[in-house]
Amino acid sequence: MDELLAVEGLRVTIATDDGPAHVLDHVDLTIPRGRIAGVVGESGCGKSTLARAVLGILPREARVDSGRITLDGKDLLALDQRAMSERIRGKEIGFIPQDPYLALNPTFRVGTQLLEILRWHGGAGGRDAHRARLLELLRAVQIPDPEIALARYPHQFSGGQRQRLLIAGALACRPKLVIADEPTTALDVTTQLQILKLLRDLARDFGVSMLFVTHDFGVVAQLCDEVMVMYAGQSVEAGATADIIERPRHPYTQMLLACHPDRAQDLAGIPGTVPSPIAPPGGCRFHPRCPVAEDACRTTRPAAIVADGHVVRCVACEGGATPLVAASSAAPR
């Protein structure tokens, strides 16, 4: 398929008082045009850092050591902050933040804040045209009484409604790509389901691609066409969502799926913790926690094995076998 976003061999280091933290290490990700791609993994695996690298909002201490990020053929790493702000962020890439309670300024009306997005990035058209666009979007995200909503303050909306307002803001300038950084984490389960359905419908209706960051494979199963599994700053497995869930090959993916409530009656966590990016283990970064690790896993960086669009990086898989560490026929719902 035609690639909209391509991340190739991305390496990012952040300077800390204890030494350089290698937060992303040769990460690869592609999002075809019109598709929803999920990035899943435990906290601390680099998911949000990857999203920020695409948006060009890495912290000042961060350094891109190597790799490429292209959006519709444009090399994003070659653009300075002014170009990213004026031409990319808000215009070609929309962003849905994680916490709807913190993302809106409580001292300004909702209409004022959303109109500001269109004023900076919306192109031709005056205030009336921008207001008409906002009313169209508020109806699309199912906000009741859009005219009245624009005059209200954030505290007058529920968490789910605030997230819908942020979704409207992300779509305001007709972006090609929307990045959503765990946008359902702060919401109750019922509202999460509503927001996920809304995002899926809007992606289809507005023709946008989406990068969805989450720690929940259940969310991935409901929303995403493709998924990339990250561990300790590395992409370890990627492919079509149904294929990854039904036939996971990397031990980390298998164990992550086994932790989901819909996969097993007796939940079992993954022993140990994600390693520090300041002193990551050699070879495969998962080997200290992997129950099927071999001697080669401790010293050899796994190469990418590609079969029918399914990519896995695992030394134990290089002979063609799948090292099963957890079995279940039930996929997350």
Please check the confidence at residue 209 and state whether its pLDDT lies above 80. Answer: yes
Neighbouring-strand partners of residue 15: 20
Q: What digits encode the pLDDT tens for the residues 7-66?
A: 999 999 999 999 999 999 999 999 999 999 999 999 999 999 999 999 999 999 999 999
pLDDT given for residue 307 in this prediction: 85
Residue 333 confidence class, pLDDT cut points 50, 70, 90: very low
Q: What digits encode the pLDDT tens for the residues 68-109?
A: 999 999 999 999 999 999 999 999 999 999 888 899 999 999
Q: What digits encode the pLDDT tens for the residues 316-326?
A: 887 666 776 64
Q: What digits encode the pLDDT tens for the residues 273-317?
A: 999 999 999 999 999 999 999 899 999 889 889 988 899 999 888
Nearest-angstrom CA–CA distance, 182 and 196 = 11
pLDDT given for residue 32 in this prediction: 94
Nearest-angstrom CA–CA distance, 64 and 275 = 21
Return contacts of 240-243, CB within 8 angstroms, 24+ apart: 240/309, 240/310, 241/38, 242/331, 243/308, 243/309, 243/310
Residues in Cβ contact with 194 at an 8 Å cutoff, skipping those fewer than 6 apart? 160
pLDDT given for residue 322 in this prediction: 73
Q: Which CATH architecture has domain 3-92+175-317?
A: 3-Layer(aba) Sandwich (3.40)
Q: Which two tokens stand for residue 209?
A: 């691609």
pLDDT given for residue 265 in this prediction: 59
Residue matched to tokens 């913190």:
102
Q: Which two tokens stand for residue 88?
A: 């990319």
| Residues 35/22, Cβ–Cβ less than 8 Å | no
Q: What share of the chain is helix, strand, coil (3-state, %, to 5)?
A: 35, 25, 40
Averaged pLDDT score across all residues of the chain = 90
Domain ranges of the chain: 3-92+175-317, 103-174
Q: What is the pTM of this model?
A: 0.91
pLDDT given for residue 330 in this prediction: 38
